[in-house]
Amino acid sequence: MTEDEEKEGKKKIAWMMKAIRTLVSNPKWMGEETTSNKLRASLSSLQQFDENDWDHLWTSSEGSDDRVRCVTIGLYLLKRLQSVLISIPPSPNQLETLSIQDQGFVRSLFELIVRWGMVPCLDDGVGIPLSRRPNIIRLAYDTSVDYRGDDKMLIHITSTITDIALDSPDARTEIHRMIFTRHLSDLLACLIQVSRSDSTLHLHITPASLSQTPTPQRYTEEQKTAAQRSIHLLFDACPLIYAIEALFSLLSSPGPKWYSSAVGRLLSESVTRRQGLSIVMDRMLLRSNEVEPKAVDRCIQLVCTPPTHLSKEEYYEKMAVQLRGLVVEGREKKEGEEKESEKRRRVMSSVAEMIIGKMMNRERDLSVRYLLIPNISPFVLFLRDQHPSSNEEMDTEDLTKGILYEEKEISDSVRYIERLVVGNPPPYQYDILSALIPVMGPLFSLYCFTRRSLIINIRREIENIMKTFFTWVEGSTTVFKQLFVPPSLMSKSQGMKVMQINADFSFSAGPSGGAILRSTPSSERDFQWEAECAVGLLKEMGNTGLIGDLFVDLLNVFLTTHSTDEDDMRERLPLLGVLIQMMETFGDSVLRNVVQVCTFLRNLLESAEEEEMVTLALGVLTQLLSGGTKISKEEAFLLDQLTPQLYTLSGHEDEATASVAAMLVKKIELFQIDERDPAVFVDNRDDDEYEYSIQSIMEDLQSEMVPSRAYALVCLRKVVTKKSEETEKNVDKFIQLFRQQLRDEDSFVYLNAIQGLMALGDIYPARVIEHLLSVYTDTRQPDLERLKLGEAILYISKRCGETLPVYAPRLMNAFLSCTKDRLPTMRASSLSNLAELCKHMRFALHSYIVDIMECIMSTLSTDKEAEVRRGAVFASTLLFRGMGRDIFELIPTYLRSLYRLLKRTEESDADDVTRFHAKIALTELANAIQDLGVI
């Protein structure tokens, strides 16, 4: 635009504003000749700038109601002013063309048009009542019952203002802004009234909506269609937040049913637009300090109801992206974010989780297809051959690289599942959990990988998913055993379709410390490692019911898959290992159902042909008779039925097997005649019986059979926990007995020895700790025994609770001195023990923290053994993780030096594992200090 054209345009604006000021400054101009002449002169003078016959506009409106005449002239002034403003963009140093005063006059003109033009044409209850509107101008005539506009006038007003609003909306003039921010609700109310036909309104025009049978009404079908199309165009032109705010304003006042229904449908359709869901949530939930449950229910109901113009499938597909964004991104902590903004994100994320839960409850298949599968695609990929909906074509370039999913994609998928599982109450939680059954296998594979590679950033989320799943899902025992039992054994045992996992894909470590999914050649699964992870997961869950049921199920699988085939026998070895590991880890918890266990043992002993089956049966029975399981008289009858098979085994060619079988026969016989407490064999004895028990225990400790030695340690532990005078006299002897068993190579035995030392430590902590520490620091003792003693000392220390600081000086000195031991493994173990001790002592550490930090830093800087440096880094990780923010009150002066040392270790240490642990330690430190600005 040339300078002359710009000057000409500004002159037009000045003359138009003069006419507008005359019109709105004194709306009584119709009855005052002076004002009337002023306005006519202003309109006539505009003819020098415009071809429109302004004088004709004046004369043609004569004879009309004064208010109608005023509205007609005002509309023409608005339309011409808009066209001029569009042609003259604001100068670079000026954001707006109109002055603040001129904008005030234009706002007054809009209000005049609404009050004298729109409102009188609307039906009762339609639009915003005058009582709720701000009175920014004084009108000469009030809108009253005796003054009603006609439908022709309404059509003229709405079409004119719609044209103004849609005239070059990208230019965004002051008039655009006034319509969208102040009067969009008025314009929509008028358009809704015109467009209603059998109470049906579509924001998106379709052939079906235009071909409905017309009902005789005061608006023609052409007018209705034009109004519908105008609504659609307005929603496209204006920011969505203004449109949604206008719809909520229209719903805030009671109106006819057809009108409220039409506005509600428009609001429902707005949700499907980009950012529509978050805008609606913000408007419905976050306009007050507290989130009201009723508002949450209304919001969920609105979003879960598809609009009429879309099929359910189309609606679910459109909503999937928005819901995922709210669930995943809503829980990510953003640096420098204000508390109010964080609260807003979390509220919207929680409601989005509940929306998905309700949609899953209403339309399970559609929800799985659009809300679940696309958002957990890394895990669905493992099931490509089983789920047609997951067989999408992968990117060729990604397949060539071998990387199918990056770290963020996998972590987002895990967090998406976790938020849906944790954030939904029953019954919606159950619907989601049951839909996740097919991907539990891949999830468990990722869990096993995180345990092996020490990735902690998503392991907690997976554990939460697993815990919730196996707590609430019916029949979860069947799913759990399929996670780690070889599929061939499952199919042979139950003849059912089992969970198959595609071996062409595997998880591996990513560059940022997370997990990535790669395309790899087929390889055999490590069922032994998966079994260990399963037991670890069960330990984390602590679900005794699941543990007992699973143990019995696995026993049945082991029994029913008996075969002499070498391949089958090799597949059953991991299953045998997990059964033994469960007995070692959970003890009596695995024998919760005595009837099932006894029935299984009878069947197993009757068909026992292999040595491993005999060993398993004797081990389970030994655990059952150890005294920790309460056995009723009715259940004791089942034990008696096992004695014939045990008598047979007592003559077994293997001397150890025969010895254990004979011992078990003896225990069952004692059990039958013990009328005081059938579950306990060594409790409440007199002195003679006490001596007899100790003698029997000593004999069993010399046995070559592992179950006999383990059983003897269990009995010995029961003896020492009675706190009798005899026990107190022989504490040192008992300590010595348990110590000797720490040298046993079998973990089942030495773990029971540790349990015995812990039991003694609970009763006589000072004597036991002092005795064990003296041996622990004695370099003349066997190295393996010292390592195991360190583990026992740590367990006893943890159980001291609030009395731990009493024993802290001796413990700290012992562990610190052993960090300089000649044996690298001993140095690494001592560092780890130190960190665990710090986690439990917290503020009682003041006297020792300097020595601990100097020890860790010195080890990292000078120790040549990679294993020890790993221990030092791991110790710092445990220290940061256990103490959290308290670390800043304990070692503020060491943080910067330790941070730099860990950073250097991460970048330059020769050992890959040490560098990896240093990265984890830095992450833990960053989590603790990110809000404090320490580094």
Residue in the block written with tokens 């996670």: 483
Q: Can you tell me the distance from the alpha carbon of 760 to that of 772, in angstroms, rounded to the nearest whole number? A: 11
3-state secondary structure (DSSP) of residue 310 = coil
931 to each of 139, 336, 726, how far by Cα in Å? 57, 9, 57
Beta carbons of 158 and 194 less than 8 angstroms apart: yes
Q: In this structure, what token pair is assigned to residue 799?
A: 């159980």
The percent of residues in the chain predicted with pLDDT above 70, rounded, is 78
Q: pLDDT at position 774, please? A: 87
Task: Tell me the three state secondary structure of residue 394.
Answer: coil
Of the chain, the end-to-end C-alpha distance in Å amounts to 56
Contact 481, 535 (CB under 8 A): no
Listed residue (237, 253, 109, 82) closest to 173, CA to CA: 82
Highest mean pLDDT among 240-254, 526-540, 815-829: 240-254
| CA pair distance 896, 522, nearest whole angstrom | 47
Give me the sign of the Cα torsion angle 881, 884, 887, 888.
positive
Q: Is the pLDDT of residue 173 over 70?
A: yes
pLDDT digits (tens, 9 = 90+) for 784-821: 888 888 888 888 888 787 788 888 888 888 888 888 88
Residue bearing the bigger pLDDT, 368 or 696: 368
Rounded distance, CA 630 to CA 591, Å? 10
> According to the model, what pLDDT value does residue 499 have?
62
Q: Is the pLDDT of residue 664 over 90?
A: no
Cα torsion for 258, 261, 265, 268, to the nearest 10°?
170
Cα separation, 482 vs 845, in Å, equals: 46
Average pLDDT over residues 698-719: 75
Identity of residue 598: C
What pLDDT, in 10s, does the model give residues 477-501? Answer: 888 888 878 777 776 655 445 566 7
Q: Which residue has the tokens 């508002």?
A: 295
Report the sign of the C-alpha dihedral through residues 792, 793, 795, 796, in that order.
positive
> How far, CA to CA in Å, does 566 sit from each of 295, 562, 563, 611?
65, 11, 8, 14
Distance of CA 207 to the CA centre of its chain: 43
**Could you tell me the CA-to-CA distances from 556 to 490, 493, 495 in Å, in that order?**
11, 8, 13
Mean of pLDDT over the chain: 78
The more confident residue out of 278 and 620 is 278
The first and second tokens of residue 352, run together, are 């989005």
Say what the alpha-carbon torsion angle 57, 59, 64, 68 is, to the nearest 10 degrees: 30
Rounded to whole angstroms, the Cα distance separating 84 from 16 reads: 10
- Selected residue with higher pLDDT from 569 and 931: 569
Contacts of 293 (CB under 8 A, 6+ apart): none
Q: Residue count of the chain, please give it.
A: 935
Smallest Cα–Cα separation from 21: which of 104, 82, 80?
104
pLDDT tens profile 340-384: 888 888 889 999 999 999 999 999 999 999 999 999 999 998 876
What is the H or E stretch that residue 79 is in?
helix 66-87
pLDDT at 160 over 70: yes
Cα separation, 716 vs 737, whole angstroms? 9
Mean pLDDT of 245-259: 90
Choice between 896 and 612, residue whose per-residue pLDDT is larger? 896
Q: Between the CA of residue 106 and those of 25, 75, 110, 428, 450, what are the distances in Å?
A: 11, 11, 6, 53, 65
pLDDT at 163: 93
Report, as an integer, the average pLDDT of 728-751.
Answer: 77
CA–CA gap between residue 899 and residue 343 (Å, rounded) = 32
Q: What is the mean pLDDT of residues 822-844?
A: 80
Give the predicted TM-score (pTM) of the model. 0.62
Which structure tokens are listed for 796? 């006893």
The alpha carbon of 437 is separated from its chain's Cα centroid by a whole number of angstroms, namely: 17
Question: Residue 27 pLDDT > 70, yes or no?
Answer: no
Cis peptide before 427 (omega within 30 of 0): yes
User: What average pLDDT does this structure show over 909-915?
Assistant: 85
293 in Cβ contact with 193 (< 8 Å): no
3-state secondary structure of 820: coil
* Domain extents in the chain: 1-197+219-238, 692-819, 826-934
Q: What fold does the segment set 692-819 form as a domain?
A: 1.25.40
Q: Which of 132-141, 413-422, 506-515, 730-739 has the lowest mean pLDDT?
A: 132-141
Is the predicted pLDDT of residue 226 greater than 90, yes or no?
yes
Provide the 3-class DSSP secondary structure of residue 540: helix
Interval 180-218: pLDDT, tens: 999 999 999 999 999 874 444 444 434 444 344 434 457
Looking at residue 141, its pLDDT comes to 44
Name, in order, each residue with C-beta under 8 angstroms of 602's C-beta and a sequence gap of 6 or more: 638, 641, 642, 645
